[in-house]
Structure 1
Amino acid sequence: MKLKFKITVIGDGKVGKTSLIKKFTKGSFKQDYIKTIGAQFFVFDQEINEDKIRLLFWDIAGQVDFNFLRTSFYNKSDAAVIIYSLEDNNFGKKSFNHIFDWYNDISKYCGEIPVVLFANKVDLVDQYNFDDSKIQKLVDKHNFLGFYRTSAKTGEGVNEAFNTIIKRLYNTYKHLS
């Protein structure tokens, strides 16, 4: 059996969307930042229980300049990943505050699809002083599949986070093909 899923990856510019996808699909990380123009896609094949799965990751530019294009890229998404930065600075706070905007955007154009939240750049913060209660409230309120602390640089949490959404899609749709 072969299944195909479109997973849309969204969040503010510079939160690490492209880097996380590359870490998951290629095992690589590049320190240099290159802005995504519009959207990029990555194809990744995976097997679960001998079923072949083709994953189409749509990496959507997060900068405001691309708002006019964004909604056309959401079309036919099977799931979404919202990424924000854990950086303890203005940028990190802004990206956290925009989670709800991203969620509303994807919900408006895709309906009720599974959504996972990635708290990226965990390698840049002191995890022992990190309070999950604020983010857990957001996860519960919007019925996200969960949230994961990730680092594209070290790989921490990346496979677990992506595999959560992939397994959900597989378990939901395997009987339909």
Structure 2
Amino acid sequence: MDEECDYLFKAVLIGDSGVGKSNMLSRFAKDEFRLDSKPTIGVEFAYRNIRVKDKLIKAQIWDTAGQERFRAITSSYYRGALGALLVYDITRRSSYESVGRWLVELREFGGEDMVVILVGNKCDLGESREVEEEEGKEFAETEGLCFMETSALKNLNVEQVFLQMITKILEITSQRSLEAKMDEKPINLLNGKEIHVADDDDEVTATKQAPCCY
């Protein structure tokens, strides 16, 4: 039977084409890895239910295309996202050099409270490394981001990086909910169930008691 989730969180995967975003999502959502993975066209997404402390969260993860010709399409998908994994390939310095440009776009279209984690993927290919781990850490610290290296192929830190993002989103959402109650802010009700809503021009991104399907 379906369970009822406490929250629905939307997050996005961004970064250059070929850095391994799709396989990271496949690992997280289905524990799968495809060596013949093809570039994402437009946007794809997957769901996974995950329990954090006493809350059951439905994570809706959007995998955005990294190719330039899809940038105008994908920018609209930042709307309503509460978190983002900004991914580069540690064996391709050009993908790391693009991180600053992606971050500008993310901050332009994303919300101010968005949780962003910088991810150096393919850390299993250490012999081909072009970006040192310390370099990624220092950039993340400078920009106020979290940082982690992962390997979708070896399934190293993939679960952890998604869980870290979702946990931080939950902390921020819970704090905002508490502040709203303290301010006696009106909360919309839908069929007797509590709904946390964003600003009027944003979509609903954190829903209380949403139907949760596996």
TM-score (norm 1): 0.90
C-alpha RMSD of matched pairs (Å) = 1.9
| More helix per residue | 1
Other-structure match for 1:159? 159
> What is the identity percentage for the equivalent residue pairs of Structure 1 and Structure 2?
26
Deviations 1:116-159 (A, max 9, x none): 01100111124999733322221111100x21111111101111
The alpha-carbon distance between structure 1 residues 129 and 118, as it changes in their structure 2 partners (threshold 3 A), is closer
1:33 to 31, 37, 47: 37
**Match for residue 115 of structure 1?**
116
Amino acid at match of 1:123: D
Give the letter aligned to residue 137 of structure 1.
E
2:68 aligned with 1:67, yes or no?
A: no
- Say yes or no: does 1:149 pair with 2:149: yes
Q: Give matches, 1:3-82, under 5 Å.
A: 3-82=7-86
Specify the code of the residue in structure 2 equivalent to 1:49. K
1:10-69 deviation per Cα after TM superposition (whole angstroms, max 9, x unaligned):
000010001001101111111002111100010111112231101110100000110120
* Structure with max Cα Rg: 2
Q: Is the 8 A contact 1:3 1:174 kept in 2?
A: no
Task: Note if contact 2:85-2:119 (Cα within 8 Å) is conserved in structure 1.
Answer: yes
Q: Give 2:183's aligned residue.
A: none
| Alignment of 1:102 onto 2:106 | no
Q: Take 1:49 and 1:118, find their aligned partners in 2: how far apart are those partners? A: 24
Letter of the 2:22 counterpart? T
Unaligned runs of 5+ in 2: 178-207, 209-214
Unaligned runs of 5+ in 1: none
Corresponding residue of 1:84:
88
- Calculate the TM-score normalised by the size of structure 2: 0.75
Q: Partner of 2:40: helix, strand, or coil?
A: coil
Q: What letter corresponds to residue 14 of structure 2 in structure 1?
A: I
Q: Structure 1 runs of 4+ off > 3 angstroms?
A: 126-131
What is the rounded CA distance, in whole Å, between the counterparts of 1:9 and 1:55 in structure 2?
12
Q: Report the Cα distance in structure 2 between the residues aligned to 1:56 and 1:141, rounded to whole angstroms.
A: 28
| Cα distance in 2 between the residues matched to 1:126 and 1:110 | 35
1:125 matches 2:129 = no
CA distance in 1 between counterparts of 2:73 and 2:133 reads 33
Q: What is the DSSP-based 3-state SS (H/G/I as helix, E as strand, rest coil) of the residue aligned with 1:122?
A: coil
Question: Is the alpha carbon distance of 1:128 and 1:96 closer, same or farther for their aligned partners in structure 2, counting shifts above 3 Å?
Answer: closer
**Paired positions, count:** 172
CA distance in 2, matches of 1:160, 1:126: 24
The amino acid across from 2:15 in the alignment is G
